[in-house]
Structure 1
Amino acid sequence: MSLAGALWFAVQDDLLTNGVCNNTTSSNISNKKPDKQPSTSEPISAPEIHSVLGGLDDHFLSRWLHLNRQCLRFIIDFIQARFKKDIFASSHKPNLSEANILAALAYYAQGSLPNKVTDRLRIDQKTACEAVKATTKLLSDLTPEFITFPNSYNDRMGAAQAFKNLSGIPHVVGVLGYLHIRVRPPVLEERMYVNTLGYHSIMVQVIFDADGNLFSVEQCCPGGTPEHSVWENSDIGRQFSIFQHGHTWIIGSPSLLGCGHVLTPVETIRIKSNAAVQFNKAHALLYNSSQHVFGSLKSRFQCLQDFGSIQSPESVACMIRACCVLHNISKKFSVPLPADFSLEPLHPPSEVLNIMAEQQFDYMEDTKDEMIEMFFNTTENEDDSEATRSMREYL
């Protein structure tokens, strides 16, 4: 899970303590089972009927906000409760009413604010734009609460078991990928924003679990930045380098060859056995799941399709983090993906820096070779593998 159980219940307690959750909402969340699809046909309580959300039908919510009613109720209540705690100068405190929050969520879902939405919410464009800024800042600040890496041994082993069930690879706690979002960069900096697919982008380093929950989001930088450089300068990369997360692996692209704790495919010239071939197939199944995770983000939050003109990566980092927080919340409520969902294309590896060539002995690489021989040298037919079939169903 991307959000530890204790933290999730603390969030609920925070809402209930502040008296902002109605009875229907608190009951839905506290009794929530992770793998059960929330019902959208439950009767709406009297307080909900008189709310802005209560006046919107399910079709409108799905079409324009890409979220269901229970999820939206939680988001609204949580934002309003947290907003009351934040300290603002009274003269500059924006209005985050229910309608304004819904307008911000519609902007994330559509990438714009259609008049059909603002008219239905009965707010003007200027008010809606201010709400987007305030909501984005608040959601971005909530990143440490809703996007958490499994720091305890039990949480790591739970994540690792899920990956092992899917692929047969042990001790993997996450998949490392780079989300690219189209931008129009400053003219004098265009070259550094060109990614390996040939367009200008902002890239964000993301780690996710076997269910697509986000574990880590950081390092917003130009799309042409080498992946190994992003990893080594990230907080999570430094944590792994000092074994803060134990002897575990992160699945990564060939660009990260030689980076500690990042499990990359066996290079073609080093494949000496069938075990290495089978390992590479299992690795590809896990790594390619980034197509689904990033496709989910961009389909549900279409503001991530294209940011347009920017001045710096920092100027868009808040929006990306806000959408990632909402992604994890939507996963918690099992919100279906939009009908126009599509997979995100895989990016070819960026420049490969052969770090191993500078090292006479690499503990992690030797461990990787031993693991491959131990777990994959008996695999005879990948097509008949139960783990492979499970992963294909997931994709």
Structure 2
Amino acid sequence: MSYPGAVWLAVQEDLYRGVCNDPTPKTLHSDSSGISTNPRGTGQLSNESVSRLDIFDDYFLSQCFHFTRQCLTFIVDCVKARMKKDVFRPSGDSASIEAMTLAALYFYAHGFLPRKITDALGLEHASASDAVNKVSKVLEDMCPHFITFPGTYDDRMGVAKGFKDISGIPNVVGVLTWLHVHVTPCPAEESLFLNTRGFHSVMVQIISDVDGNLLSVEQCCPGGTQEQTVWESSDICQEFNRLQHGQTWILGGKGLSKAKHVLSPVKSSRIKVDAATRFNSAHSQVWKSSQHVLGCLKTRFRCLHNLGAVLADNLKHVARVVSACCVLHNISKKFSVPLPNKLVLEHLHPDPEMRQEDEENFVDTEEAIEDMIEMCFGNSGNEWSQKMKNTEDIEKRSKQNGDHNSHQNFSES
């Protein structure tokens, strides 16, 4: 996983110290609509500290918030603990924090927040937008705890082994891609947000592991920004430049062919040996896993289909929502929460045309990986072919069994 178990234990210990004194919720009774009522027969919560989660049955929770009850309880408790500890942010009581959190989760899941949900949660509809902003800020602050890059040699080698097992490429510790979310810029800034697929977006840099856990999320910027520029200005790139992550690679697309520490496919015009062809096939197999990761994010969090109006110099709000969803993605992976609907793979953005100066720099990058390609793919063509056949067999079996929860295995891409 992208985060050690000790982190989860520490978070749970911390949050339960903060909320364990809350009164035990009273038992509520569900009606046919899935919304529970109290024993007095009213559909509203009393002023007592009754958990909002008890208003809904399990099916309704899954449909509304796209999480299981156990996972929702963990998320709500984490937010409660963080708000109660933050002396700079008014926390409110446990019931109001829970209502705010569930309102935000509904917004992430559907991209809008109807009055019937805020009413059921006992939340003023006029304050719902403010509640989403507050909860998004809290979840964004949790990024360092739930989105972590492997920091030790053993952790890096554990992640790298997963990539090598399915592709044969050694020392890869993550797949680098960008999440693009539709936005509506002002007319004067439309060109800044126009991406390579022809729509206006903000882009967020994401690195994921072989199981689809997010290891790094940063750099929310207009969708027309060059990927090379985004990578080189990111914090994780600076860490690689300082050799903080040892002699390891990030796997990326053709648009990053001259980027240091990024392993890109060998350009077709420079392929001289069969080993390079086999390497490119293995690279493509891993690279397509990013379709799966981005698809999972947009399937669970429909707010990531469109985040509305934006200004280039004020992307804090949209960056906060994306970061919150990424934190929740990793939590859902930890709790093995199935996707709410059938996964729709995200289309990858086309790589930009390589400029002449990039062609010249590409020679150095190619020479740096030639030895690795020859060693891993030069004399093991049969072994590599068998590995790819095994991967395809696994994919076929998964499809035949109708395993809709197999999103943790990226080979379905």
What's the TM-score, normalizing by structure 2? 0.83
Gaps of 5+ in 2: 25-48, 395-408
Write the distance in 2 (CA, Å) between the matches of 1:292 and 1:305.
16
After superposition, where does 1:107-186 map in structure 2 within 5 Å?
107-186=107-186
Q: 2:111, 2:121 → 1: CA distance?
A: 17
Bigger Cα Rg: 2
Match of 1:337 among 328, 336, 339: 339
Distance in 1, Cα, partners of 2:50 & 2:96: 17
CA–CA distance in structure 2, aligned partners of residues 253 and 164 of structure 1: 18
User: What is the CA distance between 1:118 and its match in structure 2?
Assistant: 2.2
Cα distance in 2 for partners of 1:89, 1:279 equals 52
Query: Can you list the C-alpha shifts for 1:42-93, whole angstroms capped at 9, x where unaligned?
Result: xxxxxxx952112211111111111111110000011001101112365999
Q: Contact (CA 8 Å) 1:298, 1:305: kept in 2 or not?
A: yes
Alpha-carbon distance in 2 for matches of 1:21, 1:216: 35
SS at match of 2:347: coil
Q: Distance in 2 between matches of 1:136 and 1:249?
A: 32
SS in 1 for 2:76: helix
Of all paired residues, the percent bearing the same amino acid is 50
Which structure 2 residues correspond to residues 236-251 of structure 1 after superposition, within 5 A?
236-251=236-251
1:347 alignment partner in structure 2: 349
Equivalent residue, structure 2, for 1:35? none
Aligned CA distance change for structure 1 residues 111 and 392 (closer, same or farther; 3 Å): closer
Paired residue secondary structure (1:100): helix
Decide whether the 8 Å contact of 2:19 with 2:77 is kept in 1: no
Q: Can you give the 5+ residue segments of structure 1 that lack an aligned partner in the other structure?
A: 25-48
Aligned-pair CA distance for 1:189: 1.1
Q: Aligned partner of 1:195: which letter? A: N
Report which structure shows greater RCO (CA 8 Å, sep ≥6).
1
Question: What is aligned with 1:88?
Answer: 88
Deviations 1:281-339 (A, max 9, x none): 11011111111100111111111100111123333111111111111111110000111
Question: Contact 2:204 / 2:218 at 8 angstroms: preserved in 1?
Answer: yes
* Counterpart residue number, 1:75: 75
Aligned partners of 2:258 and 2:361 also within 8 Å: no
Q: CA-to-partner distance for each residue in 1:240-270, whole Å, 9 max, x for gaps?
A: 1221111101110100012111000000011
Change (3 A) 1:245 1:354: farther
2:316 is matched with which residue?
314
Q: TM-score, normalised by structure 1?
A: 0.87
Cα distance in 2 between the residues matched to 1:292 and 1:360: 28
**Counterparts in 2 of 1:276 and 1:90: CA distance versus 1, 3 Å:** closer
1:191-202 superposed matches below 5 A: 191-202=191-202
CA distance in 2, matches of 1:323, 1:115: 22
1:375: which partner in 2?
Answer: 376
The answer as to 2:304 corresponding to 1:298 is no
How many residues align structurally? 370
SS of the equivalent of 2:217 reads strand
Whether the aligned pair in 2 keeps the contact of 1:94 and 1:131 (CA below 8 Å) is: no
Distance 1:55 1:77, change over 3 A: same
Contact 1:136/1:318 (<8 A) preserved: yes
Name the Cα RMSD after superposition. Answer: 2.6
- Secondary structure at the aligned position of 1:385 is classed as helix
Rate the CA distance shift 1:252–1:359 in 2: closer, same or farther, 3 A. Answer: closer
Change (3 A) 1:392 1:125: closer
SS at 1:220 equivalent: strand
Change (3 A) 1:19 1:392: closer
Aligned to 2:112, what secondary structure does the other structure show? coil
In the alignment, what sits opposite 1:44?
A: none
Query: Counterparts of 1:199 and 1:394 in 2: how far apart (Å)?
Result: 27
Kindly indicate whether the alpha-carbon contact (under 8 Å) linking 1:300 and 1:338 is maintained by their aligned counterparts in 2: yes
Cα deviation, residue 360, structure 1:
10
- Could you report, residue by residue, the CA deviation over 1:112-160 in whole angstroms, capped at 9, with x for unpaired residues? 0123422332323123222111101111111111111111101000000
Alpha-carbon deviation of 1:198?
A: 0.5
Contact 1:297 / 1:324 at 8 angstroms: preserved in 2?
yes
Shift of 1:381: 7.7
Distance in structure 2 (CA, Å) of the matches to 1:293 and 1:102:
24
CA distance in 1, matches of 2:83, 2:164: 41
Equivalent residue letter for 1:156: R
After the TM superposition, which of the residue ranges 172-181 and 381-390 deviates more from structure 2? 381-390
